């Protein structure tokens, strides 16, 4: 009897509540939750990068020849040193070989391997599995070690860190030289275990929960009712029949799950800090960057403005009134964020103000450093100057030490220390907590999964063919190396007419260098020397000091600020809709950005322009190159919008479909912005506006079949608009 009464009560409650719930989330079929990818990500992007890495890894010997650099890493190394070296592992036979240079001959040095446990931070901790390999032997300038640990040494031991300590010390006490594994090495090992993408330490902490919304409260109530009626029903919610796919229509793969975890961390995890997340500056609906126009739409209590309402981070908390956490004026006017890239000491002289670079298209060739005279680490180029990811020793969450080597995987470490702190003391586990190894891997996977899978092909066989005459001329100028250039890598011989020479640094409109194929170089283009920079006109030099670019050493002649004066080559496909431009937000339009390369700052020494014979374009040629950049940007917007919308079409739940459709609309609005700004392809603009209207109708359509029909019409319009831009 009691059971009947209970069921009757539940039936009555559901009769009252179900209509309310369904009215907000769609029909019962649409309210089925499923683990779809609702962000602008694609596991194929990550896998494409991984496959390229894997091919080179296997070609170089695979697990018999794992080579990692070791050196001083700021935040991880326990002391400053110029010593450096490398470790080579034969994981099959258990042989470890180490060479280091610069270590004191008056002391003995031990080599350690560390396997961080689940949930551990990246720094060595007493609870981690540690293996002392042996002691280095001094041989002239080098200190060497070769040890055979046996063929079973690495069967159940996956080293994350490689550390050199003084003899008698362990890595939990000190780390002098440090090396660290990479996400791709860990993925490779997971594949060998037969579970590719399922990393050994993927038990991630739950992100700090967001405040409940009205919709999430309804969903929670619905789930509670389902559980009361049928305790086993909730277990089935979100389960998709295995169709072999990675997302809609099939179970998510471990790689998809890893990317989803990374996205959740990127946009929700506060790391016990001041309320900011990575997404505070890298907005998902703002091309993973942020602009002054977008900032103007944010409420006063947004975490971006924490320095304005947290006294511990305000300008008054800094010596001499210097804004050493943020400069609110420059942030709001130019989207400039304060960065202590050269260290946190001597605060009045070491900070710089930089725009927020987007994190799209983080391909291997936009990360791999070229042999251009800059030092390693950083082992991957990130940020405006290529050294945005930290190097050095850090103590991560749960007290685990970590040697960061300036890789994309290390980037969140520096971001948390710089931007998430509660006070200017920046104390780990007090003002914030650093990410764990698992969190670093997940966020790395997410960042590598956004944007394009590959660069364009702009010359030679299979080159992009544009329909617009002006943009097509811009493509020719872009690929013109000037009189005397013999051609090569698909680029035709140069001519004197309209020599843009853009491809030298932006091969195929990406970030790779023509002279160092598939690598990303640094150059001194003299942007920092531009007169009348907007930020300089607003605040005095003390609050906007010169930016020396890469490194933190004594600058060479003609370079302002700490560093060698070089900045990293960014990708250009996404440029037109991600202004302001350059590291200091000194240029507002894509046309002005192209015209900069006509300037005396670029073409005079010590800038790179003099080395390539200078660039001298007429006003119409500048406009043509800008039109070319606008069109390829719009094409990428449309490509990505179609991809996202196809996922929206496959989503069963209205809420999931709406999330994806919003991102699709954002991409189309960007395409309209760049085309309209250049007066380009009005017929395509009409179709894109129509597609946006259909997407918005689909967001409010409860019937899945009707929603899919609207999406199909929107996709057809996007395809037609794309055909207006290219052959």
pLDDT tens-place string over residues 297-348: 999 999 999 999 999 998 777 766 667 899 999 999 999 999 988 877 655 5
Residues 264 and 326 reside in one and the same domain: yes
Single out the residue in 449, 467, 501 at which a domain terminates: 449
Whether residue 236 is predicted with pLDDT greater than 50 in this model: the reply is no
Single out the residue in 449, 465, 500 at which a domain terminates: 449
Residues 349 and 393 reside in one and the same domain: no
Interatomic CA distance for residues 330 and 539, integer angstroms: 8
Residues 203 and 289 reside in one and the same domain: no
355 vs 429: which has the higher pLDDT: 355
Whether residue 470 is predicted with pLDDT greater than 80 in this model: the reply is yes
Residue 697 lies in a domain: no
Provide mean pLDDT across the span 480-490: 94
Q: Is the dihedral of CA 115, 118, 121, 122 positive or negative?
A: positive
Q: Is the dihedral of CA 71, 76, 78, 81 positive or negative?
A: positive
Residues 178 and 58 reside in one and the same domain: yes
DSSP bridge pairs for 450: 41
Single out the residue in 430, 449, 468 at which a domain terminates: 449
Domain of residue 338: give its range.
254-354
Residue 536 lies in a domain: no
Whether residue 255 is predicted with pLDDT greater than 50 in this model: the reply is yes
- The H-or-E segment that residue 670 falls in is helix 654-677
Q: What is the pLDDT of residues 498-519, one digit of tens each?
A: 999 999 999 999 999 898 878 8
Before 574, cis peptide (omega within 30)?
no
Interatomic CA distance for residues 668 and 577, integer angstroms: 11
Q: What are phi and psi of 564, to 5 degrees?
A: -95, 5
- List strand residue ranges (DSSP E) for 120-279, in order: 129-135, 137-139, 142-148, 161-166, 177-180
Residues 137 and 84 reside in one and the same domain: yes
Provide mean pLDDT across the span 391-400: 59
- The H-or-E segment that residue 710 falls in is helix 704-725
Residues 70 and 190 reside in one and the same domain: yes
The pLDDT value recorded for residue 286 is: 93
Residues 202 and 284 reside in one and the same domain: no
20 vs 182: which has the higher pLDDT: 182
Residue 713: pLDDT band (50, 70, 90) is very high
Note the Cα 204 to chain centre separation in Å: 19
- List strand residue ranges (DSSP E) for 301-370, in order: 337-339, 352-354
Residue 425 lies in a domain: yes
Q: What integer best gives the mean pLDDT of the chain?
A: 83
The pLDDT value recorded for residue 52 is: 82
Residue 208: pLDDT band (50, 70, 90) is low
Q: What are phi and psi of 528, to 5 degrees?
A: -65, -20
Residues 345 and 397 reside in one and the same domain: no
Residue 607: pLDDT band (50, 70, 90) is low
Contact 308, 317 (CB under 8 A): no
The DSSP symbol for 547 reads -
What's the structural domain count of the chain? Answer: 2
Q: What is the pLDDT of residues 138-195, one digit of tens each?
A: 998 899 999 999 999 998 888 888 999 999 998 988 989 988 888 888 889 888 888 8
The DSSP symbol for 428 reads B
- CA dihedral (68, 70, 75, 77) in degrees, to 10, reads 140
Residue 293 lies in a domain: yes
Q: What are phi and psi of 131, to 5 degrees?
A: -125, 120
Provide mean pLDDT across the span 373-396: 74
DSSP bridge pairs for 142: 101, 139
Residue 432 lies in a domain: yes
Report which of 381, 386, 391, 388 is spatially closest to residue 75, judged by C-alpha positions: 391
Residue 35 lies in a domain: no
DSSP bridge pairs for 432: 428
Residue 74: pLDDT band (50, 70, 90) is low
363 vs 218: which has the higher pLDDT: 363
The DSSP symbol for 152 reads T
Q: Is the dihedral of CA 179, 184, 189, 195 positive or negative?
A: positive
CB atoms within 10 A of CB 182: 18
Before 337, cis peptide (omega within 30)?
no
- In percent, the amount of the chain with pLDDT more than 70 equals 81
Residue 654 lies in a domain: no
Whether residue 68 is predicted with pLDDT greater than 90 in this model: the reply is no
Retrieve residue 299's tokens. Answer: 């409420």
CB atoms within 10 A of CB 592: 16
Contact 648, 661 (CB under 8 A): yes
Comparing 47-56, 215-224, 552-561, 567-576, the range with the smallest average pLDDT is 215-224
- The H-or-E segment that residue 43 falls in is helix 43-59
The pLDDT value recorded for residue 47 is: 85
Residues 66 and 138 reside in one and the same domain: yes
The DSSP symbol for 137 reads E
Residue 111 lies in a domain: yes
Provide mean pLDDT across the span 62-77: 79
Global pTM reads 0.79
Report which of 346, 406, 381 is spatially closest to residue 545, judged by C-alpha positions: 346
The DSSP symbol for 4 reads H
CB atoms within 10 A of CB 467: 14
Residues 310 and 265 reside in one and the same domain: yes
Residue tagged 């960042």 (tokens): 447
- Alpha helix (H) residue ranges in 456-533: 469-478
Residues 199 and 274 reside in one and the same domain: no
The pLDDT value recorded for residue 237 is: 27
Q: What are phi and psi of 534, to 5 degrees?
A: -55, -45
135 vs 425: which has the higher pLDDT: 135
Whether residue 216 is predicted with pLDDT greater than 60 in this model: the reply is no
The pLDDT value recorded for residue 131 is: 92
Residues 187 and 335 reside in one and the same domain: no
């Amino acid at each position: 009897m009691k059971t009947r009464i209970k069921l009757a009560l539940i039936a009555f409650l559901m009769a009252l509540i179900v209509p309310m719930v369904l009215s907000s989330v769609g029909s019962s079929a649409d309210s089925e939750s499923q683990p779809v990818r609702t962000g602008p990500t694609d596991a194929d992007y990550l896998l494409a990068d991984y496959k390229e890495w894997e091919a080179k890894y296997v070609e170089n010997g695979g697990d018999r020849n794992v080579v990692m650099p070791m050196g001083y890493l700021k935040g991880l190394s326990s002391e400053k040193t110029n010593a450096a070296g490398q470790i080579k592992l034969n994981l099959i036979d258990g042989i470890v070989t180490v060479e280091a240079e610069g270590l004191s001959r008056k002391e003995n040095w031990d080599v350690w391997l560390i396997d961080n446990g689940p949930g551990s931070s990246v720094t060595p901790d007493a609870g981690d599995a540690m293996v002392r390999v042996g002691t280095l032997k001094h041989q002239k300038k080098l200190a060497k070690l070769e040890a055979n640990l046996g063929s079973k040494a690495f069967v159940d031991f996956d080293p994350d860190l490689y550390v050199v300590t003084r003899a008698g010390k362990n890595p939990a006490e000190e780390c002098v030289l440090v090396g660290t594994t990479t996400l791709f090495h860990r993925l490779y090992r997971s594949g060998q275990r037969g579970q590719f993408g399922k990393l050994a330490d993927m038990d991630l902490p739950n992100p700090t929960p967001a405040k409940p919304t009205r919709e999430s409260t309804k969903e929670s109530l619905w789930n509670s009712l389902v559980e009361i009626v049928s305790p086993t029903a909730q277990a089935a919610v979100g389960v998709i029949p295995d169709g072999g796919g990675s997302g809609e229509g099939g179970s998510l793969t471990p790689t998809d799950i890893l990317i989803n975890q990374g996205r959740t961390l990127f946009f929700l995890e506060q790391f016990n800090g001041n309320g900011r997340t990575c997404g505070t500056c890298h907005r998902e609906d703002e091309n993973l960057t942020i602009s002054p126009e977008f900032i103007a739409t944010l409420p006063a209590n947004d975490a971006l403005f924490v320095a304005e309402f947290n006294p511990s981070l305000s300008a008054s908390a800094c010596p001499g009134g210097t804004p050493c956490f943020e400069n609110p004026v420059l942030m709001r006017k130019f989207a400039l964020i304060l960065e202590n890239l050269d260290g946190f000491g001597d605060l009045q002289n070491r900070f710089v103000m930089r725009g927020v670079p987007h994190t799209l298209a983080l391909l291997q060739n936009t990360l791999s450093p070229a042999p251009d005279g800059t030092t390693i680490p950083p082992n991957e180029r990130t940020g405006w100057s290529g050294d945005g990811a930290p190097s050095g020793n850090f103590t991560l969450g749960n007290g685990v030490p970590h040697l960061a080597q300036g890789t994309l995987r290390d980037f969140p470490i520096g971001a948390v220390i710089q931007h998430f702190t509660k006070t200017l003391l920046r104390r780990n586990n007090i003002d914030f907590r650093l990410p764990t190894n698992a969190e670093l891997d997940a966020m790395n996977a997410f960042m590598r999964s956004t944007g394009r899978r590959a660069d364009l092909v702009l010359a030679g066989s299979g080159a992009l063919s544009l329909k617009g005459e002006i943009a097509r001329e811009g493509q020719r100028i872009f690929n013109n190396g000037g009189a005397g250039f013999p051609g090569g890598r698909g680029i035709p011989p140069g001519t004197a007419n309209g020599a843009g020479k853009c491809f030298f640094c932006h091969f195929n409109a990406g970030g790779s260098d023509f002279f160092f194929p598939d690598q990303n170089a640094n150059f001194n283009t003299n942007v920092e020397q531009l007169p009348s920079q907007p930020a300089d006109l607003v605040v005095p030099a003390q609050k906007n000091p010169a930016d020396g670019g890469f490194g933190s050493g004594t600058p060479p002649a003609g370079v302002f600020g700490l560093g060698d004066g070089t900045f990293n080559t960014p990708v250009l496909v996404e440029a037109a809709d991600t202004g302001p431009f350059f590291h200091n937000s000194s240029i507002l339009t894509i046309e002005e950005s192209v015209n900069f390369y006509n300037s005396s700052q670029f073409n005079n020494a010590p800038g790179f322009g003099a080395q390539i014979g200078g660039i001298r374009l007429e006003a119409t040629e500048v406009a043509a190159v800008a039109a070319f950049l606008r069109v390829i940007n719009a094409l990428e917007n449309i490509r990505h919008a179609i991809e996202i919308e196809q996922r929206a079409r496959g989503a069963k739940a209205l809420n999931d479909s709406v999330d994806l459709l919003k991102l699709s609309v954002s991409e189309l609005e960007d395409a309209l912005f760049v085309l309209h700004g250049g007066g380009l392809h009005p017929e395509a603009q009409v179709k894109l506006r129509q597609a946006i209207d259909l997407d918005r109708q689909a967001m409010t359509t409860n019937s899945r079949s009707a929603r899919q029909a609207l999406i199909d019409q929107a996709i057809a319009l996007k395809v037609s608009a794309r055909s207006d831009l290219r052959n």
